[in-house]
Amino acid sequence: MRTTTPWWALWRLPLLMLALVVSLGFAQFALAQADPEREAATAVPAVDADIWRQIESGETGPNYRSSRFGSDYNLINTVGETWRQLRERWVSPFGVIAVVGMIVLIALFYLLVGRKKLDEPRTGRKLLRWPLMVRSLHWTVATLFILLALTGLNLAYGKAVFRPVFGDGFWAAMMSGTKLIHNYLGPLFGILLVIMLLRLLADNIPRKHDLAWFAKGGGLVGKGVHPDAGFANGGEKLWYWLLATAGIAVIVSGLVMDFPNFGQARDTMIWANIIHAVGAFGLTAVALGHIYIGTLGTEGSFEGMASGYVDETWAKEHHNLWYEEVKDQAVSEEQLEANRTSSQGDEPAPRSG
């Protein structure tokens, strides 16, 4: 049946246009509504948004297969990019700021404040502070620490510095050596640090007077400022407990990366790397402070770790509480010399603390 439209019906046309324009706005909505249940029931979902979410989550699931033998890597390693960004944007700059910043601070401190000299003249009588065993441990750990710090810094920043300077041939050998030293001496450092920490534990239990020591800034600035300190002062204890916490974290995370044969996942090694780098850069910066205070910064400190003996005056000023305990064990330099020549390196004097 066919009808003709009379001319007066044309007034409907603008209305029709308006309806069309309005309904177009809903068209997409209407399409999406077109019987989705039936389509979902008959269709095979191929690569859809859910699959991409699955891939991006790094999830592997029971029905995940990778044809590479002995590999459980997911399709896309999403943590890798996080690690890269953390490393490039935060960890690497942090290392430079920490280490270079510390060097600058120490240089400024030395120029402005200068060396902490003994207030009183030396008495010439000596006290045994560091027995041979502790000194051996200290210097072995110190040597390893410096080697590991230098090789570690080279692994982190060497490519920006040495490759352009030395050329490829030397650079390749240098980096191979760096990695060998770092990976082989690392575990040795770990073992020795743990032994040293155990050996010095009793001396480094925090006490109330350590708080006062920190409140006075350790007496670092100002003549005649000497807050109370036992065998180890607050600063030494802080360094001890930094090594006992951050140091152990650096060692453990290093071992996780050093021995990839225990089936640890790639993600585990990635986080180990972040912990290792942050901890090691931080410790390197603090170690610079330790080295400064132990050598240039304080008169009479270095000889303690070098010979084992410190001057009475030094002990009285820097470790007054310890001095009170051991002052009757002081020996004169001549006596010490005589002891040395008679019994090579044998040190009978007791140590307390």
Part in contact with other proteins (CB under 8 A); list of ranges 15-23, 74-82, 138-146, 210-218 = 74-82
We find the least distance from the C-beta atom of residue 86 to other proteins, in angstroms, to be 11
Q: Is 211 in the site for other proteins (CB under 8 A)?
A: no
In the complex, what is the shortest distance from the CB of residue 143 to other proteins, in angstroms, rounded to a whole number?
23
C-beta of 351: minimal distance to other proteins in Å?
Answer: 39
From the CB of residue 315, how many other CB atoms can be counted at a distance below 10 Å?
25
Strand order in the sheet with 331-332: 309-311, 125-128, 331-332
Question: 3-state DSSP call for residue 162?
Answer: helix
Residue 243 Cβ, how far from other proteins at the closest point, in Å? 25
The residues in 88-107 that bind other proteins, with binding defined as CB under 8 A, are 88
How far apart are alpha carbons 270 and 25 in whole angstroms? Answer: 50
- Measured in Å, how far apart are the chain's first and last C-alpha atoms? 115
CA distance 39 to 44: 9
CB of 141 to other proteins, least distance (A): 23
Neighbour count for residue 17 (Cβ, 10 Å): 10
55 interacts with other proteins by CB under 8 A: yes
Q: Are β-strands 309-311 and 331-332 bridged in parallel, bridged antiparallel, or unpaired?
A: unpaired
Distance from C-alpha of 82 to C-alpha of 91, rounded to nearest angstrom? 12
What minimum distance in Å lies between the beta carbon of 159 and other proteins? 5
Residue 176 lies near other proteins (rule: CB under 8 A) = yes
- The Cα–Cα gap between 53 and 76 comes to 11
The one among 3, 21, 25, 65 contacting other proteins by CB under 8 A = 65
Alpha-helical regions (H) of 86-131: 92-112
Which amino acid is it at 43?
Answer: A
Can you tell me which of 105, 142, 175, 242 binds other proteins, judged by CB under 8 A?
A: 175
Residue 259 interacts with other proteins (CB under 8 A): yes or no:
yes
276: how many CB neighbours lie within 10 A of its CB?
24
User: Does 165 engage in binding with other proteins (CB under 8 A)?
Assistant: no
Q: Does 138 bind other proteins (CB under 8 A)?
A: no
Task: Name which position in 260, 335, 337, 343 contacts other proteins (CB under 8 A).
Answer: 260
Block residue for tokens 């901890």: 279
Scan residues 28-47 and list those touching other proteins (CB under 8 A). Answer: 36, 38-47
* Cα 59 to Cα 61: distance, rounded to the nearest angstrom: 6
Minimum separation from the CB atom of position 300 to other proteins (A): 41
Rounded to a whole number of angstroms, the minimum distance from the CB of residue 183 to other proteins is: 7
**What is d(CA 299, CA 118) in angstroms, rounded to the nearest whole number?**
6
Q: How many amino acids of this chain bind other proteins (CB under 8 A)? A: 62
Q: Does 258 bind other proteins (CB under 8 A)?
A: yes
Distance of CA 345 to the CA centre of its chain: 37
Give the footprint of other proteins on this chain (CB under 8 A): 36, 38-52, 54-55, 61, 63-69, 71, 73-78, 80-81, 83-84, 87-88, 155-156, 158-159, 163, 168, 171-172, 175-176, 178-179, 183, 257-262, 266, 269-270, 273
